[in-house]
Amino acid sequence: MSHHPKYPNRRGFLKASAAGVALSGIASAATAQDAMPLPALEDYSPAYLKAEEWAFVMAATARLIPSEGDGPGALEARVPVFIDLQLAGDYGTADDWYMEGPHDANADFQLGWQSPLSPAQIYRAAIPAFDTWCTETYGVAFVRLDAAQQDEALTALQAGDVALDAELRDFFTILLANTKEGYFADPMYGGNHQMQAWSYIGFPGARAAYREWPERHNIKYPLGPVSINGERA
């Protein structure tokens, strides 16, 4: 992790301070990722997703935001952890949405969400349905396809060329939206690990104080991001 030389980071301060040991409990929130290394993605125990669903989300998000090229991929950003935690929470269960019937899942798309299923239920039902299509088309499940085939399968899914029940038709839309959310949301939600996605695009995160900046025209803001919990990148 890099930091601006004018602003010593918390870890540097603690290293230089005789009180470092005594303060470590207080500092733990600010340096959670340094103090408590997160389990490798392979060792993460999902809160909602079952093993085969987790494997699918790992494989699919790795294609939606691949690791190659500049910037983190979905796996480096730990997007699958974000998705799992979101599905385990009130987004997954559609707590805020009106979910009473009657439902017309075949309604015009422009009338919005009309599935009787919550996002978590859609992941649960759509992953095996999509895998059935992958098996019929390629002979193996999605996770066993090579990268080019996975891209092809996801392209078909996005285009509506994979026959899914109407109540699952928003699956690709929410999978992609959740992937991008996990890439760019505050790291406290499990993704955007070490604010890598913010650093990559130049978004300063929770700094939220730019009093002297509106009239500094055409000058790139120089400071890296901070998170809500106070980490710096």
Partner 1 sequence: MARQEKKKDVVIVGLGWTGSIAGIELAREGLDVLALERGHDQATVPDFKYPNQIDELKYGVRLKMMQKPSQQTLTVRRNAGETALPYRALGSFLPGNGVGGAGTHWNGLNWRPQPEELRLRSYVTENWGEEIIPEGMDLGDYPVTYDELEPFFTYFEKVAGIAGKAGNLNGQIQEGGNPFEGWRSEDYPMPPQKTTYDSAKFREACLAAGYHPFQAPAGIASTAYVNPYGMQMGPCNYCGFCERFGCYQYSKSSPQTTILDALKMMPNFEYRTESEVLRVEMAADGKTATGVTYWDEKAQEEVFQPADIVILSSYQLNNVHLMMLSGLGEIYNPLTGTGTLGKNYAYQMNGGVSMFFKDAEFNPFVGHGANGVAIDDFSVNQNDFGALGFIGGSYWRSGTFNGQPIRNMPLPRGTPSWGAGWKKGVGEWYGHAMSIGSHGSHMAYRNNHLDLDPTYTDRHGRPMMRMTFDWQDNDLRMNEYMKSQMEPLAASMNPDIMQSGFKGIGAHYDVRPYQTTHNTGGHSMSEAPQDGVVNKYSQTWKAHNVFAMGAGNFVQNTQYNPTGLLGGLAYHTVNAIRTQYLSNPRPLV
Size of the site for partner 1 (CB under 8 A): 61
List 151, 152, 156, 165, residue binding partner 1 (CB under 8 A): 151
Question: Is residue 202 left, alpha or beta, with left meaning phi > 0 and alpha meaning psi from -120 to 50?
Answer: left
Q: Please name which of 55, 60, 75, 52 lies closest in space to residue 171, comparing C-alpha atoms.
A: 60
205: which strand partners?
Answer: 226
Cα(167)–Cα(148) distance, rounded to whole angstroms? Answer: 28
158 interacts with partner 1 by CB under 8 A:
yes
Q: Which is nearer to partner 1, 166 or 201 (CB)?
A: 201
Closest CA to 63 of 174, 179, 191: 179
179 binds partner 1 (CB under 8 A): yes
Q: What share of the chain is helix, strand, coil (3-state, %, to 5)?
A: 50, 0, 50
- Using CB under 8 A as the binding rule, the residues of this chain from 90 to 149 that contact partner 1 are 91, 94-100, 102, 104, 107-114
Query: What's the closest the beta carbon of residue 19 comes to partner 1, in angstroms?
Result: 24
Q: Which residues bind partner 1 (CB under 8 A)?
A: 63-66, 68-71, 73, 91, 94-100, 102, 104, 107-114, 151, 154, 158, 176, 179-181, 184-186, 189, 197-198, 200-206, 208-211, 213-215, 217-221, 228, 230
